[in-house]
Amino acid sequence: MLEDKVIREGTYAFDPERRTLARRYGAARRKWLVLHEVLILGYLILWLLLPLARSLEDAILRVSPSLYVRTALSLGLVLVGLTLIDTVVGVLQHRVDRRFGQSHQDWEAWATDMVKVLLLEGGVALIAFEGIVFLIAHAVPFWWFWAAVVAALFFFLLMVIAPVLIAPWFYSFEKLEEGEVRTRLLQLAKRAGVPVVDVYRFDLSSRTGAANAAILGMGHTRRVVVGDTLLDRFSPEEIEGILAHELAHHVHRDILWSFFMEAVFLLLGFRVLAWVLQWPPVAAIPVGSPRFIAVVLLVFFLLQRGMALLHNMWSRNRELLADMFAVHVMEEGHAYARALARLGDQNLIELHPPRWYIWLYGTHPPLGERITYALAWAEMVQAESDTVPGAGNVSSASAQISNHEGGKNS
C-alpha cells in the first residue's frame, strides 16, 4: 500500500484516523455534488415543460414594454430557483464540512459569503443576458461570435483583477513578513522566470482548516498568496515545494492554455446556442423570457459537462507535469512528496477516489498516484544529481519535462 511505502521511505506517517475521515468526507461531498447537478438539470428542464412558465411570461410582458426590463425580471425569476437549490445543497455541504472540521465558519459567516457569491454571479449573469438579448434583438450578424469574443475578454479581465478586487472581498491579505519563507518563495519565482509583485499571507483559517497556496492574477497583478494554515503547520521546504507546483503552471503557460480553451468553449457554446434558438420549438420562445433564460443556461450546462471531460483529462496531465517540475527544483525531492501527503491528511483528501469521480470531475490525478510518482521522481533526481551537477535546477526541470512530453508524443 502507498501508506506503507511512504512510511518506509521515511517521508511521512499517514494518520490512520485522518485516512478514514478522508474516505467518509469524500463520499459525503460526492453525494451532494451529484445531487446539486441533478437538481439544476431538472429545474431548468421544468421551466421548458411547465405551463406556469408561459403564464409568468404573460405577466412579465404586462409589467413593462422594455425588452431589457423584461429580461432582468425573467433572469431574477429563474435565479430564485437556482439560488434555492444552491442554498439547500450548500447547507447540506456546510454541515458536512463542519462535522469533519473542514469549515471554521459559523452559519452567519457562511450565509454572508453566500450572499457575496450571489451578488457577484447575479451581476455577471445580468450583464451577460442583457448583452445576448441586445445582440439578438438588433440582429447583429454573427452575434454568437461577438458574444463569445466579449465573454472571453471579460473572463480574461476577471483573471487580472481577481486578486485586487474580488479576492479581498472574501479574505484579508497582508504582505508576508521578512523571513526564510518569503525569501525562499521570491527566489524560487525569480529562478522560474515568473515575476510576482510580492508574497501575501491570507486568513484561510477564518473559513477552513485546509491548507493551500496559489499564484493569483496576471501580469502586474500576479502575486503569491499563502494561507495561514499552510504557514503555521508546514516547513519552509514543504511550502516551497507546494509553490513550485503552482509556479510550474505559469512556466508551462497552463494559465494561458486554460484561457484559450475557455475561449474555444465560449465560441462553441454560443454557436450551439444560435443553432438551438433556430430550432422551431425553441424559436417560438420570446427572447428575454424565463424560458429563454432557461434554454441558454441549459445549453451551456450540458456543453460544460461534456467539455469538462476533455478539459479534466488535459488538466490531470498538466498537474502531473507540475508535480514533476516541483520535484526537480527541490533540493530534496522527498520533501514535496511529504508535503502532498501532509496536505492529504490536513485537507482530508482521499488517496484513491472512485474512478468514475476522477473521470467526471477530477481536475487532479488521485493523490495516491501523485505521491507515488513524486517518490519515484525524487529517486531519479537524486540519482541524476549524484552524477550531473545542477540536475535539480529550474533549467534541468524544464528540460526533463520537455523530454517527458516529447516521449509521450513520439
Assign 10 a pLDDT band (cuts: 50, 70, 90): very low
Find, among 174, 198, 173, the residue nearest to 186 by Cα.
198
pLDDT digits over 199-239, tens only?
Answer: 999 999 999 999 999 999 988 899 999 999 999 999 999 99
DSSP 9: T
User: CB–CB of 238/342 below 8 Å?
Assistant: yes
Rounded Cα distance, 103 and 110, in Å: 9
Q: Where are the domains of the chain?
A: 2-172+249-409, 173-248
| Interstrand relation of 199-202 and 173-175 (parallel, antiparallel or unpaired) | antiparallel
Q: How confident is the model at residue 77 (pLDDT cuts 50, 70, 90)?
A: very high
Task: Please name the helix (run of DSSP H) or strand (run of DSSP E) that holds residue 202, with its range, or none.
Answer: strand 199-202
Q: Is the pLDDT of residue 97 over 50?
A: yes
H helices of 140-201, where?
143-161, 180-192
**Dihedral sign from CA coordinates of 178, 218, 160, 363:** negative
In this prediction the pTM is: 0.87
* pLDDT of 7: 43
| Pairwise CA distance, residues 149 & 143, whole Å | 10
Check: CB of residue 334 under 8 Å from CB of residue 378.
yes
CATH number for the domain formed by residue range(s) 173-248: 3.30.2010.10
Contacts 24+ apart (CB under 8 A), 360-369: 360/308, 360/309, 360/312, 361/33, 361/308, 361/312, 362/312, 362/316, 363/311, 363/312, 363/315, 363/316, 363/319, 364/315, 364/316, 364/319, 365/316, 365/319, 365/320, 367/340, 367/343, 368/2
Average per-residue pLDDT in the chain?
Answer: 89
DSSP at 222: -
Q: Three cell numbers at 256?
A: 494561458
Confidence of residue 2 (pLDDT cuts 50, 70, 90): low
* Cβ–Cβ < 8 Å for 67, 288: yes
